[in-house]
Amino acid sequence: MSQVMTRAEATGAIASHKIQPRHRERRAVVYVRQSTVQQVKRHQESTRIQYGLKDFAVRLGWPSDQVEVIDEDLGVSGASSEGRSGFQRLLADLALDRVGLILGVEMSRLARSCKDWYQLLELCSVFGTLIGDLDGLYDPAQYNDRLLLGLKGTMSEAELHVLKQRLEQGRLAKARRGELGRPVPIGYVRRPSGEVALDPDEEVRAVVRRIFSEYERIGTAYGVVRSFANKDLRVGVRMASGPNKGELEWRRLNRQTLVKLLKNPTYAGAYVYGRRVTDPRRRKAGRRGTGRVVAAREDWIACVKDRLPAYISWEDYERNVAQLKAHRSVASEPGAPRKGAALLAGRVFCGRCGTRLTTRYAKRSSPRYECRREQNDYGGATCQGLAARVVDAEVSRLALQALAPSALEVSLRVGEDLERARAEKDADWRRRLERARYTAERAERQYHAVEPENRLVARTLETAWEKQLRAQRRLEEEYQRASREQPRMLTADERAAICALADDLPALWNAPTTTVTDRKAILRLIVERVVVTVEGETEWMEMHIHWAGGRQTYRRVRRPVRHTRQLAGFAELRERLRTLKDEALDAPEIAKRLNAEGWRRPREGACFTGRVVRRLLSLTGLAPARRRGDRSELGPDEWWLPDLARELERKVDTVYKWVYRGRVRARQLYGRGRRWVLTVGADELEYLRTRPPRTHVQNGPGGVS
């Protein structure tokens, strides 16, 4: 350090003519910076040299109290001015004309970015501030000094780029070999030698395997989280930092942890690097760790399979990732099976434009599948729509037929799965009991290890021991209760019930215990997509069912429609009505003939009645329709109820309320729909038009004729 100061003194003697009284009137600033905290700890000699520049400033003529040391940026990189509060304060003091000299051991201490460096030079040039390092004093206002300082700043930035490039290339080469150290996920540990191994704790490994088996069985992330919560299962997480680093901490499973675990290829035994990259456009100022985005699989820098110990196979990992992607709530994916009544939501496609049909739920009607591409994209009408229950019923019927030959095999598989699930549950209980016994015995050993006379410590250890004993006893009682309620092996009655249900799949399918979510999950396993095409506006539609495995089934199915004129055979029905009408048959007789001949109404299972036939005859022009507003049956000051509503510009329901509440005189006719006739004079009509009555009127509907 003395040699360095001797060199600085010689430099100051040569360039002392640049120091003017106006410089000494302001403060001298010594800027101290190291790039990382590790450099601050290990390279302390460089830090001492930088602090020693304060004495050098005193020798140049500045009073000791006028020399300020800015060391707020120790451990902060100089690649940018962001996050360097000391450098920002230095620029602020320069702009306020408070600094006459800036000292640093080299220019890289001040800035490694030309943007920040030239900003500093410009301020020094404007306010006449000198810059000094171990090589000399510089005046940025002079051309030669400005040129030299610019070259030093460029070399400093280039040096940083070279260092980064060397480190990055070494890191990438090590990552492509699968040797670059990365944080290990839950269920793994890193040995002192650097090797990654499975967690030595048996319960931790069992819980991780349980997560993958539960996801394979349930199929949704939320279902796995709910299953773990109901069974009170915890996940063992080893602390990555802090005083308890490396110790196990048992936490509840949450959805974020589960999704990260399912998407992590480490569990398939693959070493992957570059799954997350930093996008500088998304990085926000003042926040560390932002701007990271998930890279596509083809953009991964390294993917070395069979490099690490695995919990699942690579095929299982790809299936889990694909299933998570399919369960996203976006228009391009079918989404996870939910509680809605439509069984094929997300699996039905339009046969006209190929768009996935949306599912619409109304409060008082059954769900519908609708294609709204034309309406949403071009403002047109709905492409096509149909009731969901028709498609669901047909696909369910075909699915049950396909599953019928394997019913016995399914029943045996169900029995094996139930026994395996119960065995896994029993193993979970035993591991929890074993850990509880170990914790209690450890607390006991700690209590016996203390001196009996040291009651201050003994009482604390005794309390901890009693707490662990109570927890162990409570856990044993819960295990005994669970074993009594659900034995490990299936009983004979349970096996018989499973076989009986397998013999009658439709009964099992329609059983109250089979939820809509269960039916959806089963159909999604065997049905890939259903393409439907409605034949115009008729009751017929075509279905192309694409089954898992590549097979297809074609069906032409009848669907319910709203109006009789939508029926495909409406022209033939009209001719048949004309023939029966020409035979001088009345409406009830015509209805009996149509029902006997097998004619259908739009609503499934509905028969023709006399009233329906009269409407059809009026609709087809085979019988004269009753003209609206026909007053031949009315007396003076009498109105048909709909005519009075139109005259008063009121809703029909409002006038009905007046009638039923006795506010308007009315009578009801027998036959022909029991129509209401209201008696309203001219004065009363004017009163109703301006102000509806609020008091009862005599001779209301109570006196119906």
How confident is the model over 463-492, as a mean pLDDT?
79
Give the pLDDT band (50/70/90) at residue 318. Answer: very high
Confidence of residue 631 (pLDDT cuts 50, 70, 90): low
Mean pLDDT is lowest, of 97-106, 129-138, 220-229, 375-384, for 375-384
Q: Tell me, what's the pLDDT at 548? A: 83
Provide DSSP, 233-293.
-EEEEE--SSTTTT-EEEEE--HHHHHHHHH-GGGGT-EEE-SEEE-GGGPPTT-TT-SEE
Range with the largest mean pLDDT of 410-419, 580-589, 625-634? 580-589
178: left (phi over 0), alpha (psi -120 to 50) or beta: left
Q: What does the pLDDT read at residue 178?
A: 86
Report whether pLDDT(347) > 70.
yes
* Four-residue CA torsion sign, 438, 443, 444, 446: positive
Which of 183-197, 346-360, 662-676 shows the lowest per-residue confidence on average (mean pLDDT)? 662-676
Q: How far apart are CA 339 and CA 326, in angstroms?
A: 17
Q: What integer pLDDT is reported at residue 284 of this predicted model?
A: 56
Dist CA 650 CA 128 (whole Å): 87
Residue 558: pLDDT band by 50, 70, 90 thresholds?
A: confident
pLDDT at 361 (0 to 100): 86
| List 2, 16, 35, 396, catalytic entry | 35
| pLDDT beyond 60 at 485 | yes
Measured between alpha carbons, how far is 255 from 62 in angstroms, rounded to an integer?
63
pLDDT at 242 over 50: yes
Tokens for 105, please give them.
């051991």
- The answer on pLDDT for 625 being more than 70 is no
Q: pLDDT tens across 258-281, in order?
A: 999 999 999 999 999 988 887 766
Give percent of the chain with pLDDT exceeding 70: 85
Q: How confident is the model at residue 253 (pLDDT cuts 50, 70, 90)?
A: very high
Residue 69, pLDDT score? 92
Angle at 318 between CA 524 and CA 421, to 5 degrees: 65
Position 526 scores a pLDDT of 83
Mean of pLDDT values over 615-632:
64
State the amino acid at position 348 in one-letter form: V
CB atoms within 10 A of CB 185: 15
Average pLDDT over residues 63-79: 89
What is the DSSP code string of 313-324? -HHHHHHHHHHH
Q: What is the percentage of the chain residues whose pLDDT exceeds 90?
A: 15
Q: How far apart are CA 452 and CA 67, in angstroms?
A: 62
Mean pLDDT over residues 305-309, rounded?
90
194-198, 383-387, 647-651 — which is least confidently predicted?
Answer: 647-651
> How many whole angstroms separate alpha carbon 531 and alpha carbon 355?
10
- Predicted local confidence at residue 266, as pLDDT: 93
What is the dihedral sign for C-alpha 128, 133, 134, 140? negative
Task: Please confirm, yes or no, whether 35 is among the known catalytic residues.
Answer: yes
Q: Which residues fall within 8 angstroms of residue 617, CB to CB, at 6 or more apart? A: 577, 581, 587, 623
Residues 6 or more apart whose Cβ sits within 8 Å of residue 123:
91, 94, 95, 129
pLDDT tens-place string over residues 407-441: 555 555 655 666 677 777 778 888 888 888 888 88
**What average pLDDT does this structure show over 447-466?**
84
Q: What is the pLDDT of residue 211?
A: 92
**pLDDT over 70 (residue 486):** no
| Average of per-residue pLDDT values in the chain | 81
Output the pLDDT for position 98. Answer: 92
**Residue 608 above 50 pLDDT?**
yes
Q: What is the pLDDT of residues 661-682, one digit of tens each?
A: 888 888 887 765 677 888 888 8
pLDDT at 703 exceeding the cut of 50 = no
Half-sphere exposure of residue 467: CA atoms within 13 angstroms, side-chain side: 8
pLDDT band at 290 (very low <50, low <70, confident <90, very high): low
Which range, of 38-52, 77-91, 279-293, 346-360, averages the lowest pLDDT?
279-293
Q: Quick one: pLDDT at residue 698?
A: 43
CA atoms of 258 and 215, how far apart (whole Å)? 10
* Residue/partner pairs of 204-208 with CB below 8 Å, 24 or more apart: 204/236, 204/248, 205/311, 206/427, 206/428, 206/431, 207/233, 207/234, 207/235, 207/236, 208/235, 208/261, 208/267, 208/311
Residue 137 has pLDDT above 80, yes or no: yes
